[in-house]
A and B are shown apart, each in its own frame.
Chain A
Amino acid sequence: MESSALMPALFDLLCLAPVQRGFVATILTGITLPIVGVAIVALGIYPLRFTMMHVALLGLAIGQLTGTAPTLVAVFLCALTGAGLGATAYRPQDATSAMGFLMPMAIALAFLVLAAAGVHAADAFALLWGSILVASWAEIALVAVVGLGLLVLAIIFRQELSLTLLDPELAWTNGIETRRLSIFLFTGLAVAMAAAVRLTGALLVDAVTILPALTARALATSLPQMALLAMAAGLTGNLVGFALALLLDAPPGPILVLTAGALTLTTHTILKLRRRS
């Protein structure tokens, strides 16, 4: 396709209902979910995202078996898991062992439930893969409510959160009830990831959470700046990735991940070259 024809082609595609829904979901996840990534990077709880992918998959499987809205079951199960992790971990990093236990348990149960539900292997794979183009308005609304809710709470409790993200013990000695805050944090992060799983797929939720946060960490000199840059990187990566997926007629999930990854890699490379020179 010639470059002059690219924009009209994109606008034509944007007239289609699934593409419109995908476009809205792209913007929403690009803005709100990088905040989740910032918290995960700050607390060093990277295994949380894998844990939630597994638990969300179990939730989706239970939803399929019982005929209940799969995303809601996934969100509910992840909320329970997040609250449990937050309540039992003295410091957020202490939750790593529990997460290591939960991951294989959740995936094993998910396979059992999927087998019991008679879900075909290809359909089970679709749960892992997901697609922003098949998202329903209800699923997009759920991401909007959860993501924007988290964003508002992060702004309200920014002082408590920033000290907790620096060091939970230091925050606690400053009168911040970090144990309660941990429950809120873990639950919020878990719910946000579960809500996004249907849009990006369980395996690709990293693209809209961790990768923008890693890009922002390389550039930022303060936590608020990192949060804003993560949102900018998330939105840019998502929009570029979404447009590329449409133009190349490729599955959006992997293109979103590769775009976000390319952005992260380019940022780090440019910074490294600058430091050398």
Chain B
Amino acid sequence: MRPSRLDVSQLTCRAGRHTLLQDVNLTLVPGEHVALLGANGAGKTSLLRAILGLLPATSGEIRLDGRLQPRPCPATWPKAMAWIPQRPPRGQVPFRVKDLLAAPSAWAWAQRLGIAPLATRPLTHLSGGELQRVFIARALGQVAAGTGLVLADEPTAALDFEGQDEIGAILTALPVTMLLITHDPAQAARCHRALTMAHGKLRPYASAL
């Protein structure tokens, strides 16, 4: 596994008349963990979606290990990233846990995170915390398989205190590059650096970490 380098320069994203991101500059050196804090609607998730290629950039550029994100962005682009979504999907039809964790590396993490007994359960029958663990196991499986960048959007928001500590410690120990959105200053303090977002603009986090 080789941690990735991420470069975001002068990134602006607009949706209609709304500016979601404005002139965002961000560099994550290989192995660096950066926490991203900010009020709801500040643009944190939009930044992650733009990096993944889910939100098209109006201007600016995104590079992963020096490779420029193509426009239009193809689906091959985000394959080099592990994404833990803020609201993991449950689907409208039954989709079993084990179908989502079919990769051996993901299944190994499922066992470690205690969700292996849920293997045959549909995602629609899981609690919020269980569902979040499934998607964390999936992302950790991708990391084990060689993915060098983790984009985690409030990955522990639905977990109990114990779970937050457990997953927080696992994520912190990952030898990858990671951009972590959180509202928890303690979780942010575990990262190498913290930034804050307001009105689509990125600033250094003012609080003493």
Interface residues of A (CB under 8 A from B): 38, 41-44, 162, 165-167, 169-170, 172-178, 217, 220-223, 225-226
Given contacts A172-B78, A174-B79, A221-B122, contact A162 B54 (CB under 8 A): no
* Cα–Cα distance between A223 and B124 once the two chains are bound (Å): 12
* Cα–Cα distance between A170 and B96 once the two chains are bound (Å): 15
From B75, B93, B120, A165 is in contact (CB under 8 Å) with B93
**Residue of A41, A178, A222, A225 with most partner-chain B CB within 10 A:** A222
CB neighbours (8 Å) of A176 from chain B are 75
Q: Are A43 and B89 in contact (CB under 8 A)?
A: no
Q: Are B83 and A221 in contact (CB under 8 A)?
A: no
* B66 on the A face (CB < 8 A): no
Given contacts A169-B54, A172-B75, contact A42 B93 (CB under 8 A): yes
Q: Are B89 and A175 in contact (CB under 8 A)?
A: no
| Residues 116-148 of B contacting A (Cβ, < 8 Å) | 120-123
Given contacts A169-B54, A172-B54, A173-B52, contact A223 B93 (CB under 8 A): yes
**Residue of B81, B83, B95 with most partner-chain A CB within 10 A:** B95
Please report whether the interface of chain A is mostly helix, strand, loop or mixed according to DSSP: helix
* B74 on the A face (CB < 8 A): yes
**Closest A-chain residue to B74, C-beta based?**
A177
* B207 on the A face (CB < 8 A): no
CB of A154, distance to nearest CB on chain B (Å): 13
* Cα–Cα distance between A160 and B96 once the two chains are bound (Å): 15
With A172-B54, A177-B74 given, name 5 new contacts (CB 8 A): A42-B92, A169-B85, A175-B75, A175-B79, A220-B93
From B83, B91, B96, B121, A173 is in contact (CB under 8 Å) with B83
CB of B65, distance to nearest CB on chain A (Å): 17
* Cα–Cα distance between A41 and B92 once the two chains are bound (Å): 7
| Residues 49-87 of B contacting A (Cβ, < 8 Å) | 52-54, 74-76, 78-79, 81, 83, 85
CB of B122, distance to nearest CB on chain A (Å): 6
Interface residues on B, range: 20 to 34
**Closest A-chain residue to B125, C-beta based?**
A221
Q: Are B99 and A162 in contact (CB under 8 A)?
A: yes
**Residue of B85, B92, B96, B123 with most partner-chain A CB within 10 A:** B92
**Closest A-chain residue to B93, C-beta based?**
A42
CB neighbours (8 Å) of A177 from chain B are 74-75
Given contacts A172-B75, A173-B78, contact A221 B92 (CB under 8 A): no
From A38, A169, A173, A178, B93 is in contact (CB under 8 Å) with A38
**Residue of B54, B78, B94, B122 with most partner-chain A CB within 10 A:** B94
Q: Are A175 and B94 in contact (CB under 8 A)?
A: no
CB of A148, distance to nearest CB on chain B (Å): 22
Q: Are B96 and A167 in contact (CB under 8 A)?
A: no
**Closest A-chain residue to B56, C-beta based?**
A90
CB of B74, distance to nearest CB on chain A (Å): 7
CB neighbours (8 Å) of B85 from chain A are 169-170
Q: Are A221 and B96 in contact (CB under 8 A)?
A: yes
Q: Are A43 and B94 in contact (CB under 8 A)?
A: no
CB of A43, distance to nearest CB on chain B (Å): 7
CB of B118, distance to nearest CB on chain A (Å): 12
CB neighbours (8 Å) of A172 from chain B are 53-54, 75, 78
CB neighbours (8 Å) of A223 from chain B are 93-95, 99
Q: Are B78 and A42 in contact (CB under 8 A)?
A: no
* Cα–Cα distance between A223 and B99 once the two chains are bound (Å): 9
From A44, A174, A178, B92 is in contact (CB under 8 Å) with A44
CB of A147, distance to nearest CB on chain B (Å): 20
**Closest B-chain residue to A173, C-beta based?**
B78
Q: Are B92 and A173 in contact (CB under 8 A)?
A: no
**Closest B-chain residue to A219, C-beta based?**
B94
CB neighbours (8 Å) of B76 from chain A are 175
CB of B121, distance to nearest CB on chain A (Å): 8
CB neighbours (8 Å) of A38 from chain B are 93
**Residue of A165, A167, A177 with most partner-chain B CB within 10 A:** A167
CB neighbours (8 Å) of A169 from chain B are 54, 85, 89
Given contacts A170-B85, A173-B52, contact A178 B91 (CB under 8 A): no
Q: Are A222 and B75 in contact (CB under 8 A)?
A: no
* Cα–Cα distance between A176 and B78 once the two chains are bound (Å): 10
- What are 29 A-B contacts defined by CB distance under 8 Å? A38-B93, A41-B92, A41-B93, A42-B93, A43-B92, A162-B95, A165-B93, A166-B89, A166-B123, A169-B89, A170-B85, A172-B53, A173-B75, A173-B79, A173-B83, A175-B75, A175-B78, A176-B75, A177-B75, A220-B93, A221-B96, A221-B120, A221-B122, A222-B94, A222-B99, A223-B93, A223-B94, A225-B94, A226-B94
